[in-house]
Homo-oligomer: A and B are copies of this chain.
Amino acid sequence: MAWDTERTKRLLLDAATTEFSEHGLAGARIDRIAAAAGVNKERIYQYFGRKDDLFAAVLAHRLRGSMDEVPMLGAGPGAVGDYAGRLFDHHLADGVIPRLVFWEGLERGPATAADAARAAYHDEKVERFRELLPGVDRAAAGELLLTIVSLVNAWPVLGHLDAFLIGGGSAGAGDRAVRRRAVLVESATALARDAIAVAAAAAENAASTPRGVPAASVRRVSEVQ
């Protein structure tokens, strides 16, 4: 039979995605990945290089997918909440991204910023946020996006805390997801509105006192409001 190297690579990448999602970089077993893919493990080294490289390939592949599949739609601060909700849905359906993101955060050093495509993607999202939120600077928009990303990714990983915090109450997991999605959309929208308000107050403040205004007095606006 003819070789089908693309299929082999795909089988390996899929198996590796599952393995790394479940066990992380240190806990993953090359042999298990090869066995699950039905492929000799030597292929892994030929196609992807070392274990770390395979992990990086899995991460890049999967994140790229989520980047493309969750566009930002609409206008105004409500669009931020809407985006958060759809990101939530996507991660919930996907099942592996949140775990991969946190494995990455925990196991890889802070010097992963070399991924140019990823940086470009995030840049674009932040810029889209800024279009939705008049007057908001890059840092504030980045903070907002980070807050949303943190919440959306943390929840599936911290599912074991549900037993403590929510208890074996009446609501099932599905019902809880609906509830949490609503909370997320709402708070993302609220935070977006607030970011606009803070930016407006800061601009006005800057106009009246041109320079040397301590940052704390600007930030305070968001606390008082």
List residues of A whose CB falls within 8 A of some B CB. Answer: 23-27, 99, 101-110, 112-113, 118-119, 122-123, 126, 138-139, 142-143, 145-147, 149-151, 153-155, 157-167, 169, 171, 175-176, 178-180, 182-183, 185-187, 190-191, 194, 215, 219, 222-223
Contacts and interface: CB of A to CB of B under 8 A. Distances in A.
Specify the main secondary structure of chain A where it touches its partner: helix
A60 to B, nearest CB: 13
Given A113-B163, A146-B165, 4 more contacts: A142-B165, A150-B158, A182-B219, A187-B187
Contact of A186 (B25, B110, B145, B222): B222
| Number of copies of this protein chain within its complex | 2
Contacts of A146: 155, 158, 161-162, 165-166
A126 B187 contact: no
Contacts of A169: 138-139
A76 to B, nearest CB: 15
Contacts of A194: 186-187, 190
B186 A166 contact: no
Contact of A223 (B119, B122, B149, B185): B185
